[in-house]
Amino acid sequence: MDKHKFEMIDNHDFGIIDFFEEGKCYCDYEPKDFNCIPVSDRYIGPIIRKYKYDFSFMDTYFLDSTQPSAGLAYCGVTIIPPESLKKFKDIIIDANNHYKSKELELLIEKIDEAMKLNKHMIHYSLIVHPYMGDD
């Protein structure tokens, strides 16, 4: 009998890619590799919907640099290049004027760090992950 278990994570994870590789697929869920911070979907989901227009002007990539897009993937992996970080930060700051969330404040700090270092960010959205806990 197949004993694979999966769990739905209701957080979005945001991290910084120290050494971005053009064309590399960032498909695997590796939040520790990018020192990711979690942000609840109760914030990110509504932000993606409310700021859909604003996100349409934020250049991103889905999975790798060969798949240009705009905004954040709700399910999947988004790469946010350095030139889009200011737009991303502005959206999160505006949204947090409403939410007053510590999680969003930490995200703003993470974006600031990436901007200072001129690094790409990675966003792992709602993804089904293999369950690694006990039976």
Instruction: Tell me, yes or no, whether 19 lies in a domain.
Output: no
Number of structural domains, the chain? 1
Residue 40 included in any domain: yes
77 lies in some domain: yes
- Backbone φ and ψ for 119, nearest 5 degrees, come out as -115, 160
Q: The whole model's pTM is what?
A: 0.87
Return d(Cα 118, Cα 123) in angstroms, integer.
Answer: 16
- The low-confidence residues of the chain, meaning pLDDT below 70, are 1-9, 127-135
Is there a domain that residue 129 lies in? no
113 CB neighbour count, 10 Å cutoff:
14
Output the pLDDT for position 127.
63
> Is 97 contained in some domain?
yes
Q: What domain range includes position 70?
A: 8-14+32-124
What are the tens digits of pLDDT across the range 11-34? 999 999 999 999 999 988 889 999
Does residue 20 fall inside a structural domain? no
Residue 41 belongs to domain with CATH number: 3.40.1760
Q: List the one residue out of 94, 92, 90 whose CA is nearest residue 104.
A: 92
